[in-house]
Amino acid sequence: MGTFFRHAASAMRWLLVGAVVAGVAVGACLGVVAVATGPGAYEDGAPWSLVAAPGIDRQTAMDTAVAEVPGSRAVSAELDSERHITVWEVEVVTPDGVEYEVSVDANTGAVVGTAEHD
**DSSP codes joined into one string, 68-111:** HSTT-EEEEEEEEEETTEEEEEEEEE-TT--EEEEEEETTT--E
pLDDT tens digits, one per residue of 32-68? 665 555 554 444 444 554 556 778 999 999 999 999 9
- Rounded to two decimals, what is the model's pTM? 0.57
DSSP letter assigned to residue 39:
T
| Domain range list for the chain | 2-38, 48-116
Q: Is the pLDDT of residue 81 over 50?
A: yes
Looking at residue 117, its pLDDT comes to: 79
The sign of the dihedral angle between the CA atoms of 35, 40, 45, 47 is negative
48-116: which CATH topology?
Answer: Nuclear Transport Factor 2; Chain: A, (3.10.450)
> CB-based contacts of 82: which residues, under 8 Å, 6+ apart?
89, 103, 112, 113
